[in-house]
Chain A
Amino acid sequence: MKYCRNCKVNVNDRLVNCPLCGSYLDEKVESEKSSEEVQSRITYPILTVESKNSKNFLRKNLLPFFLVAGAVCIAINWIIYSGTLWSGYVLVGLFGGYFAVMNSVYQKRRLYSILGLSGLISCICVLGIDVVKSLETQGNLSGVAVSIEYIIPGILVAIIIATDIFIIANKSKYKYYFVSLLLASILALLPQLFIWILRLNLIYWFTFSLFFFSLLNLLVMIIAYRKTFKQEMLRKFNL
C-alpha cells in the first residue's frame, strides 16, 4: 500500500496520485496482509473524464433556440410583409424538426414509440402547411383540402400497415407496438369524421375507406392479440 501523508490514508499501489487530494505518492507502508492481498484483486473499469463539449450545450438549449428562431422569423415576416406567409412554413418545419426528429434522437426513443409519435407529428405538420397555404391564397381556412383528402390518410395507412407488420413479425416485443397502433387508428378516423361533422365539400373516397379499414384492422388485431392488448391497456391507461 502507498500512503498519503496529507490525508493520512493508505492508497492502492496501482494509483499514482492520491484520489482525495491529488498529491503524488512516493511513500510505501506495510499494512495488514489481508488488505495487501485484496487490493490487487480489486480493479475497476477505468473512467476517463472529459470536459463538457459543445454538443451538450446545443442539446440542452435546443427548445429555446428553436423558439427564438421561430419568433425571429415571424417578426421579420410581419415587418417586411410581401404577400407570402413564409414564416408559417418555417414554424411548421421547426415544430416537426424538434418533436419528430431531435426529440426522438436525443431521448433515444424506440421504434414503437417513434412510429406513433412521428405519425402524429407529421400529420400535424402536413395540416399546418395546408393551413398556411390556405391563409396565404384564400385568406381563410376554406383552402384546406389536399392534406385531409390524401396526405394524412396516406401517412396513416403507411403507419398502420407498418405497425401491423411489426406486431406480427416481432414475436417477443410485439406488445409495445399496440399503443402506436391505437394512436394511429384513432387518428385515421378523424379525417372522415371531420368531413361528416363539418360537412366539408371534399373528395372522400380515400378517407372513407381509411375510416373502415382502420376500424376493421384495429378490431382484428384486438381479437387476435386480446390478452396482451388488455395487459398493455391496463399498464398504460389503467383501463
Chain B
Amino acid sequence: MDSRHAGIRVTYFDYRISVDFFHAVTDGSGGIVFLNTLVGAYLRLKGVEIKDKENYLDDRDKPRREEAIDSFMQMADLKSPKLAKDVVSFQIPGQRLNNFSLIVINGSLDSQQLYNKAKEKNVTITQLLTAVIAWAIEEDRRFFGYSKKRPVVVSVPANLRKFYPTPSLRNFVSIMSIHSNGTTDFDSILKTVKEQFARQNTMEYFMGTINFNVKSQRNFLIKICPLVLKNIILKIAFEKYGAKARTSTISNLGIVTPPKEFNDHVCRYEFILGPQKREMVSFSCCTYLNKTVISASRTIKESGVVRLFFTKLAQLGLSVDVDTNCDI
C-alpha cells in the first residue's frame, strides 16, 4: 500500500476522538503527542488555553526537523548480531469476521490495585499482563485439545526511548518475544515470563534486531530494487517469516500524561491495536487518571481467550469493568 494514502486517519463518535496510525508513521508515544495536539486544538477553540506542554505540541508551531529523524539509523552500531530467531508459533483458531471487522472488549481497572497485585507477585504490570495472556491462550488450547507442538509466543513492544532518548516522534519501538511451552500452571508461566523479560529487555538484545533491520535497509540490492517488486517480495517474506511468528501481542503504553488542563475535559484514554492479518487476538493497555484500560481487540467471533484473560484478572482479586462495541 502506498503510505501516502493512509498514514493517519482521524474519526469521531459522540464524545470520542480516534486516530488510527499506520505503524510505519509513528508508535504509541508519537501517536499520543499527535492526539493530544489535536485535542488541544479543539480545546483552544472552546476557549481553554493549554500552558502545560507535556506530551503536547502547539499546532501553530512549525514542525522541527528532529521530530522526523529515523532514530533506528542513529542507534544502530552494526556490530552485534541478531540474538533471537523467529519461530512458527501457535495460532489461535477461530471463525474470522468479515472485512477486517474488529471486536473490542475494554476492561477498566484501578491502576493502584493492579500495581499492588503486580508488586505482590514481584513482577511489573506488563510482565503480569503478559503472563495472564500466555496463561489464557494455554488454557484455551488445553480445553479444546489443540496441538501443543508450537509454542505460544506473546510479543511485547518496548519503547526504545528509554535506552536511547530521542526527540523523534517517528516509530521507535522494538519487539520482545515471550515464549510459553504448553504448561497451564499460572505461577510457572509468570516465572518464565519474568526470566525472559530479564534476558530480552536489554540494550544488546534490541541492538541485534535493529542492526539486522538497518543492515537490510542499507543493502545495495534491496536499495536499487523497484518499489513495485519490493512490495511483492516483502509481502511474500512477511507471509513466510513474520506472519506466524507470534500468537498475540500486549502493547503497554504506560501512564499517559497529557497537559494538566486536559484533566477536566478528557475522562479516558483508550489504546487499541488494529486488525492484523494473522494475529487473531491482540491486547493493549494504557493508564490515565488512576484507571488502566486494557483493550482486547480480535478479528474472530470466539471470545474464549479474552474471557479467560479478564476472568483471570478477576480471580486474582482485581475489580474489572468491561464494555464492548459488539453485542454478539
Cβ–Cβ < 8 Å partners of A17 in chain B: 327
Asked if A238 meets B328 with Cβ closer than 8 Å, knowing A7-B310, A9-B321, A49-B103, the reply is no
Beta-carbon contact of B321 and A19 below 8 Å: no
**Does A235 belong to the interface (CB within 8 Å)?**
yes
Closest Cβ of chain A to B106, distance in Å, is 8
* Contact present for A19 and B226 (CB under 8 Å): no
Our pick among B103, B311, B320, B327 for the contact of A16 (Cβ within 8 Å) is B327
Chain B 291-318, CB within 8 Å of chain A: the 1/0 string?
A: 1000000000101001100110011000
Total residues of chain B contacting the partner, CB 8 A: 42
Question: Which residues 221-261 of B have a CB within 8 angstroms of A?
Answer: 223-228
Q: Does A39 reach chain B (CB closer than 8 Å)? A: yes
Tell me the count of chain A residues lying within 8 A, CB to CB, of chain B. 39
Residues of B contacting A14 with CB < 8 Å?
323
Interface status of A223 (Cβ within 8 A of chain B):
no
Tell me if B227 and A235 are in contact (CB < 8 A): yes
Interface of A is mostly: loop
State A31–B327 Cα separation when bound (angstroms). Answer: 22
Asked if B326 is at the interface (CB within 8 A of a chain A CB), the reply is: yes
**Cβ contact of A43, chosen from B16, B97, B223, B326, cutoff 8 A:** B16
Docked CA distance A21–B16 (Å): 27
Complex CA gap A131/B267 in Å reads 69
Say whether A19 contacts B15, CB under 8 Å: no
Given contacts A43-B13, A49-B301, contact A11 B328 (CB under 8 A): no
Which A180-196 residues have C-beta < 8 A from chain B? Answer: none
Q: A10-B322, A35-B108 are in contact. Are A47 and B311 (CB under 8 A)?
A: no
B311 contacts A12, C-beta separation under 8 Å: no
Interface membership of B268, Cβ < 8 A: yes
Q: Nearest residue in B to A19 (C-beta to C-beta)?
A: B324
- Indicate whether B14 reaches chain A with its CB closer than 8 angstroms: yes
Q: A21, B307: Cβ atoms under 8 Å?
A: yes
Say yes or no: B224 contacts A238, CB within 8 Å.
yes
Complex interface: chain A residues within 8 A of B321 (CB)? 1, 9-12, 31, 35, 39
A43 to B18, CA, bound (A): 12
A-facing residues in B203-233 (Cβ within 8 Å): 223-228
Give the distance to chain A from B49, nearest Cβ to Cβ, in Å: 24
Within 8 Å CB of B307, what residues of A? 7, 20-21
Say yes or no: A15 contacts B323, CB within 8 Å.
yes
- Taking a contact as CB atoms under 8 Å apart, the answer to whether A46 and B325 are in contact is yes
**When chains A and B are docked, how far (Å) is the Cα of A42 from the Cα of B268?**
9
Task: Considering the complex, give the chain A residue whose CB is closest to the CB of B15.
Answer: A41
Q: Could you say which residues of chain B place their CB within 8 Å of the CB of A41?
A: 14-15, 267-268
**Chain A positions within 8 Å of B16 at CB level:** 42-44
Min CB–CB distance A221 → chain B (angstroms): 20
Whether B306 lies near A49 (C-beta < 8 A) is no
Contacting pair A46 B322 (CB below 8 A): no
Interface pair A47/B101, CB less than 8 Å apart? yes
Residues in A with CB closer than 8 Å to B267 are 37-38, 41
14 contacts between A and B (CB under 8 A): A9-B320, A9-B321, A12-B323, A19-B303, A19-B324, A20-B303, A20-B310, A31-B321, A38-B108, A41-B14, A43-B14, A50-B98, A237-B227, A238-B225
